[in-house]
């Protein structure tokens, strides 16, 4: 298929439809109203959204045009929807779980992905998560990317690319120090001993400077 781009609304609606098809199959396929509430959940969502019924319907229409969802003609008088996410993007079940989790919860580390994708039948171990990420990365249109690790982060996070490349925060460079800090030679003992060594060096330099000033004065006279 051609390059796929989903608006944030479309990505949320599609991922919520995938999630509920697995976690609550008794309520699947889903009506627009039920899908709106699933998309606007306060838990397991980042960012939290506030889609209207019209927003949800418009997202479904756009996704239908991409053949990512379809109406269920056997669902009765109220229209209901099914996803075709796995079929259209040729995703293995565990890989689909990882991608849907990124779409629902935003950037995550591999460890977070293993935990958060578990309800969607995601990979059972770290190797499985990495295999899923590699699968999503190794495509003509990569579906994920690894974000640079920020200061204080124990592991790099991953993000989905179905809604475009995210803004990557610029790391602040460390502020330059006002002056280099003198270091005592290695092996000079305790902190007090190192201070004494530094003070002796300063005194020695001051004496040499005074001697040099005297010589310059004598030469000038």
Q: Where are the domains of the chain?
A: 8-160, 182-221
For residue 42, pLDDT over 50 is answered with yes
For residue 186, pLDDT over 50 is answered with no
Q: Label residue 183 by pLDDT band (50, 70, 90).
A: very low
With a threshold of 0.85, does the pTM exceed it?
A: no
pLDDT digit string (tens) for 13-38? 999 999 999 999 999 999 999 999 99
Q: What is the mean pLDDT of the chain?
A: 86
For residue 158, pLDDT over 70 is answered with yes
Domain spanning 8-160 has what CATH number? 1.10.10.10
CA–CA distance, 54 with 58 (Å, rounded to integer)? 6
Please give the torsion angle defined by the CA atoms of residues 140, 97, 16 and 169, in that order, rounded to the nearest 10 degrees: -60
Question: In DSSP terms, which residues pair with 145 in a beta bridge?
Answer: 159
The Cα-based distances of 216 to 18, 52, 206, 213, 220 in angstroms read 85, 84, 15, 5, 6
pLDDT digit string (tens) for 98-155? 999 999 999 999 999 999 999 999 999 999 999 999 999 999 999 999 999 988 888 9
């Amino acid at each position: 298929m051609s390059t796929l781009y989903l608006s944030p609304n479309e990505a949320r609606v599609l991922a919520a439809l995938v999630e509920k098809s697995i976690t609550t199959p008794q309520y699947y396929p889903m009506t627009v109203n039920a899908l709106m509430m699933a998309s606007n959940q306060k838990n397991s969502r980042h960012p939290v959204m506030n889609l209207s019924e019209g927003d949800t319907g418009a997202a479904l229409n756009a996704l239908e045009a991409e053949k990512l969802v379809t109406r269920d003609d056997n669902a009765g008088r109220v229209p209901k929807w099914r996803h075709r996410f796995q079929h259209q993007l040729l995703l293995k079940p565990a890989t689909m779980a990882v991608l849907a989790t990124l779409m629902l919860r935003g950037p995550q580390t591999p460890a977070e992905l293993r935990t958060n994708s578990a309800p969607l039948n995601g990979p059972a171990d770290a190797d499985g998560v990495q295999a899923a990420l590699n699968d999503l990365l190794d495509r003509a249109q990569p579906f994920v990317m690894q974000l640079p690790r920020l200061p204080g982060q124990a592991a790099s996070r991953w993000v989905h690319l179905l809604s475009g490349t995210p803004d990557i925060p610029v790391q602040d460079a460390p502020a330059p120090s006002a002056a280099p800090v003198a270091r005592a030679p290695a092996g000079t003992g305790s902190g007090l001993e190192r201070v004494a060594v530094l003070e002796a060096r300063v005194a020695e330099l001051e004496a040499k400077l005074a001697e040099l000033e005297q010589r310059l004065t004598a030469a000038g006279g």
